Amino acid sequence: MTDQEQPAEGDSASPHMRGAKFFEALLANSGDVLTLLDGQGHYIYHSAAIREMMGIEPEDALGFFAADIVHADDRDRVTDRIHYCLANRGVRLSENFRLPHIDGSWRWVEADVRNLLDDPDIQGVLVVSRDVTSRRRIEDHFSIAETTAGFGTYRWDKGCEAPAISPALARMLDLPEEAEELSDAAMYELLHPDDVERVSTTFASLENDPKPFSLAMRLRQQDGSYRHFVSHGFPEIATNNEIISVVGIMDDVTESLNTELSLKRTAEEYRLIADHAHDMFARHAPDGRVNFISPAIKEVLGYTPEDAVGQKMIDWTHRDDKAMVEQKMEDLRNGAESVLMTFRLWNADGKFVWLESTVHRINDEQTGEMIEAIAITRDISERKEYEQRLLDARQKAETANRTKSTFLANMSHELRTPLNAVIGFSEILKRKMYGPLGDEVYDEYANLIHESGTHLLDLINDILDMSKVEAGKMEIEPEFIDMVEIVETCMRFVEAKSEAKNQRMQLNLLTPDLGNSAYADVRATKQILINLLSNAVKFTGEGGSISVDLQSLPNGLEISVCDSGVGIDPADIPRLLRPFEQVADKSSQAEEGSGLGLALTKSLTELQGGAFRLESERGKGTNAIVTLPSAHPDLQTGSARA
């Protein structure tokens, strides 16, 4: 500023009386920058305040096109605005942009621009601008605060059809950020139809009762879904006591509302379950006192929940179960996550009820200490009664079976003695050891007595063996045996009967190189083979064939007794393996027997650590397959040894 531009000291005339110097001085001291552009948009004048705004002298920036010195991001916009302004005489507009300061910073400037090219005194475009950097900074901070706090702001000026919204609120509503002004229609489109009336009424009521308000509403998103908002606002009152605007914040409460709703729903569901379940749900204090118990207590124990709250369940526990229940609760207090216990409680009628409880420990989140125990308890009286009945029945059955086995063992023994006399003496008669019998008929009778006696003895021996097995008294002494030798002996035993029926009988060694020895009891093995071979001969007709196949397996020896006889219906097989069972259809077989042979064979095989199975079909012959161990159990490959 030059000296002659300084206002004259002591000049006290009124402004309109003063000269050009006064206005020059006024201009030089104004905080706003006054700039003049020529018809091409070039700077032709800057007032002194440009020093403050840009840190340069007023004459330094003259001659430039106005937009050339603004921030690159603002340049195109500002250029367009200048051209628009230059093209329209008398037009007035305002614009925000950034100008560089000599200290290197950018300053936000708000400019009021007016085309005065037609004004003979000015003949230029007048730009009045001021530094709004600090205001912009506050606005930026506010916008950050808005975004991080998750709310948006709005301002509804009187006379405007809809509120102006902050960029943060625009984002929350899923609108483009620059959508600062909503239209009336857009606003009602956003608002949930059910909320329109309430929102309108609240705003309208401010007219008579201008006070802060809180208002919940649902606003629509672009995808058509609604989110829940709460608006806290207040009216701004002008000097004439009229409302000039309503300002407020909008808080999106959808998440918290949903959480609250789902918590409420979960609690409701639990309550429903607790109310209607047959099981009792209870919450106990660490000392065992009942804090809560579900209504099922009425059904289970005959008490109401009110009777039980505050009581200790241990006081209602059966004397014999008290110690166990206390121990379990102690385990829980000592850190067990949950315990399961079966115990008896006294019910309202003075009878005990069998219960099963799963009790879970609830910890204090901070200290980890047990603050509560949750028990789910079920009435198991019926199950207990059933278990008891089953136990009684089993005991009875076991006793009966033992009695039967003992009786049979004794009886068989008692029967054998006289029978031996019958067989022995009929043998003497048969052989006529002391001379002829007289009449031939006696010969025949002696033979019949001997045959029947022998059959009866076989039967008694089978019964005796079966009873021994069932009583667990059958003794087995396994040793290494050559199965070929044993099979041949047994074959000789049935040879006569087989030959009488013209049957072919043979032994096949399927794995001759691997040997045919087994680790088995000689007597039991012979009994098995004689049983199977006798059945094969018995149930195979004239001219049929019978074979015994020996095959070595990794852990045993397989003996298959195969015949081409009448066969068995597979459905009958499981039954035939049980003692005293014969196929029902007697017409299919004219043979007599005890029905014990197969059951005994199975038991004797299993007693030796082997397995027995039958493979057969009606009319297609039968395979009876016995597997016996081939080595001492401790030496078997694959068996785990301690």
Site residues (vs ligand ADP, CB under 6 A): 531, 535-536, 539, 563, 565-568, 576, 582-583, 589, 593-599, 622
- Give least dist CB 538 to ligand ADP, A: 6
Given the complex with ligand ADP, which of 385 and 591 has the nearer CB atom? 591
- 477-481 long-range contacts (CB < 8 A, ≥24 apart) are 477/521, 478/519, 478/520, 478/521, 478/608, 478/629, 478/632, 479/519, 479/520, 479/521, 479/522, 480/517, 480/518, 480/519, 481/517, 481/518, 481/519, 481/520, 481/522, 481/525
- Give least dist CB 571 to ligand ADP, A: 13
Cα dihedral: 88, 91, 92, 98 (round 10): 10
d(CA 99, CA 68): 10
Cα dihedral: 392, 398, 402, 408 (round 10): 110
Given the complex with ligand ADP, which of 125 and 596 has the nearer CB atom? 596
- Give least dist CB 470 to ligand ADP, A: 15
Given the complex with ligand ADP, which of 228 and 501 has the nearer CB atom? 501
Given the complex with ligand ADP, which of 518 and 537 has the nearer CB atom? 537
- Give least dist CB 543 to ligand ADP, A: 16
- Give least dist CB 611 to ligand ADP, A: 17
Given the complex with ligand ADP, which of 342 and 461 has the nearer CB atom? 461
Given the complex with ligand ADP, which of 163 and 597 has the nearer CB atom? 597
d(CA 358, CA 341): 7
Given the complex with ligand ADP, which of 443 and 581 has the nearer CB atom? 581
Given the complex with ligand ADP, which of 83 and 618 has the nearer CB atom? 618
Given the complex with ligand ADP, which of 377 and 564 has the nearer CB atom? 564
- Give least dist CB 566 to ligand ADP, A: 5
Q: At what angle do helices 597-607 and 440-470 cross, to 10 degrees?
A: 40
- Give least dist CB 499 to ligand ADP, A: 18
Given the complex with ligand ADP, which of 150 and 574 has the nearer CB atom? 574
d(CA 69, CA 76): 12
Per the structure block, which two tokens stand in for 395? 């005991």
Per the structure block, which two tokens stand in for 265? 């729903």
* Residue 53: alpha-carbon gap to chain centroid: 68
Contact criterion met (CB below 8 Å) for 115 and 89: yes
**Range 344-375 burial, b when 16+ CB lie within 10 A, else e:** bbebeeeebbbbbbebebeeeeeeeebeebbb
Given the complex with ligand ADP, which of 25 and 561 has the nearer CB atom? 561
- Give least dist CB 537 to ligand ADP, A: 9
- Give least dist CB 536 to ligand ADP, A: 5
d(CA 572, CA 359): 51
Sign of CA dihedral 455, 459, 462, 468: negative
Strand order of the β-sheet with 370-379 is 290-293, 280-284, 370-379, 352-363, 338-346
Given the complex with ligand ADP, which of 567 and 610 has the nearer CB atom? 567
Contact criterion met (CB below 8 Å) for 278 and 378: yes
Query: How many residues are given for the chain?
Result: 642
- Give least dist CB 599 to ligand ADP, A: 6
Q: Strand 280-284 vs strand 370-379: parallel, antiparallel, or unpaired?
A: antiparallel
Given the complex with ligand ADP, which of 317 and 582 has the nearer CB atom? 582
Contact criterion met (CB below 8 Å) for 46 and 33: yes
- Please give the helix or strand (H or E) that residue 403 lies within, else none: helix 381-431
- Give least dist CB 521 to ligand ADP, A: 20
- Give least dist CB 625 to ligand ADP, A: 12
- The helix, strand and coil proportions of the chain, stated in percent and rounded to the nearest 5, come to 45, 25, 30
SS3 154: strand
- Give least dist CB 414 to ligand ADP, A: 22
d(CA 382, CA 354): 8
Q: Strand 556-563 vs strand 545-553: parallel, antiparallel, or unpaired?
A: antiparallel
Which residues are CB-contacts of 327 (< 8 A; sequence separation ≥ 6)? none
Contact criterion met (CB below 8 Å) for 202 and 217: no
- Give least dist CB 389 to ligand ADP, A: 34
Sign of CA dihedral 39, 41, 44, 50: positive
- Give least dist CB 528 to ligand ADP, A: 11
Given the complex with ligand ADP, which of 478 and 565 has the nearer CB atom? 565
Given the complex with ligand ADP, which of 356 and 572 has the nearer CB atom? 572
Q: Tokens 């506010």 belong to which residue?
A: 142
Q: Taking CB positions, which residue lies at the least distance from ligand ADP? A: 593
